[in-house]
Amino acid sequence: MPQHLVWLRTDLRLLDNPALFSAAESGHVTALFLLTPAQWEAHGIAAKKIAFILRSLDTISEQLAERGIETKIILSNRFDDAAHRVLEVAKAIQASRVFWNEEIAINEQRRDDAVANSLSNAGIQVERHHAFTSLPPGSVRKPDASPYSVFTPFKRRWISLSIDRGIHTFPAPKGQGPTVAAAKAPDTVGGIAKTLGSEDWPAGEREALKLLDRFIDSAVNDYDSQRDLPDLAGTSKLSPHLAAGTLSANHCIKAAYVRNGHRLSGGNPNIDTWISELVWREFYNHILAEHPRLAMGRAFKPETDALPWYHSSEQLERWQRGETGFPFVDAGMRQLNATGWMHNRLRMVTAQFLAKHLFLDWRLGEAYFMSQLVDGDFAANNGGWQWSASTGTDAVPYFRIFNPVRQAERFDPQGTFVRRMIPELAEASPKQTLEPWKFGGVGGYPEPMIDLGAARDRTLAIWKQAKAT
């Protein structure tokens, strides 16, 4: 039987893993994972996400070992080392083919091309699959074959293609022999302990599937009404698993499709809304594939690269610490700093506050989020930040500016979430959690760092000037 090597990356799962399934169907499989701490650091990956990946790596290694599949975990440090490392392992096991699932960002694409060239030069075949999004990048296009840049028409086309194609997932790979010893990721990589965040974020495919089942069975029924309320557990909390690949987007979409009476729209409005959120993830990854410059710090709308962003390290640091004096903003930032995760409504509020009210460069916020998020996904994070800053795909012009006080009135009117996240306001009344400065200050909580109205007017004036030139 031919020897095959499967190179695992953001696909640490058995189910719906086309590279792993295909390799096991036609040969004897060995799995490989490359630890790249220097590259993770260069990409600003959060410590909690790295720890989550390491724990997920342990679980996939155990699952594979139960099927007689050995996993090799090797230190590679940077992407530049990958071509040598993968070739070395492929030769050692006498692999005739190496399989992997594609990744989308440009550095990952360049790495994969270098690995493919190295293997081909050595006479080893390469088989590349797609698994990070449900529909492959480049497959959802306008009738004239150009890419979409606005979400709603993209979603309509995505739904149409998905229905035509059918929603299929790959089963787990078949076993290939007796149980083998499971590999273990190091307890510490690049100074990051594998246990970091383990209480908040249980890792691995089995945990992901349990979360998905619980959400689909019950919580999804209130998703449309509760997803914007940060004091409730109204979201799926699956995003870390999607980012690490312990669960596929396709698997989630199929589960929602079945639960929705075999519909992707026009069914239960709660499930329709969750499907729409999954399609947003698809959209941003397709956008990244079409526009590699987004991975180079460039704006989706090139003309906005010339905006005269303000520079204030003091304001940036206060925003990062959650000490802006605006409770809803600060509650979101403190949730991020404490848990490695932030409610989606608050991601928009905090991002707009930085990019619109403070008029600080959105790239600073994008990088800070990535440095903290256990669910950091470059395309989704970049897309969300550029949407908030009006430099991205948002169809609404620059004058969309969320007022954090009005947002709190709508989504945390009793101050429940604010009191939970901000100890200084733990005893505050609902009205005090909205605008504590109007009550002479509460519990030592800081004064507002800006005047919202004046900041809004200033930002609009800058944008109007930029649009006129």
Active-site positions read: 277, 280, 309, 344, 362, 385
CB 249 within 8 A of CB 223: no
Token pair belonging to 288: 């990244």
Q: Which residue has the tokens 């800006």?
A: 450
Distance CA 298, CA 296 (A): 6
Distances from the Cα of 64 to the Cα of 50, 107, 202, 322, angstroms:
21, 28, 19, 43
| Sign (positive or negative) of CA dihedral 222, 372, 322, 421 | positive
Three-state secondary-structure class, residue 4? strand
Distance CA 419, CA 141 (A): 46
Distances from the Cα of 352 to the Cα of 138, 307, 400, 452, angstroms:
30, 16, 9, 12
Please give the single-letter amino acid code of residue 15. Answer: L
Three-state secondary-structure class, residue 360? strand
What residues contact residue 407 under an 8 Å CB cut-off, 6+ apart? 328, 345, 349
Please give the single-letter amino acid code of residue 284. Answer: Y
How far the first Cα of the chain sits from its last, in Å, is 66
Three-state secondary-structure class, residue 458? helix
- Helix ranges (H only) for 7-81 are 18-26, 37-42, 47-66
| Sign (positive or negative) of CA dihedral 376, 378, 383, 385 | positive
DSSP H or E segment with residue 371: helix 362-372
Q: Which residue has the tokens 């848990």?
A: 339
Token pair belonging to 466: 């930029």
DSSP H or E segment with residue 379: helix 378-389
Token pair belonging to 121: 């030069």
CA-wise closest residue to 248 among 135, 97, 415: 135
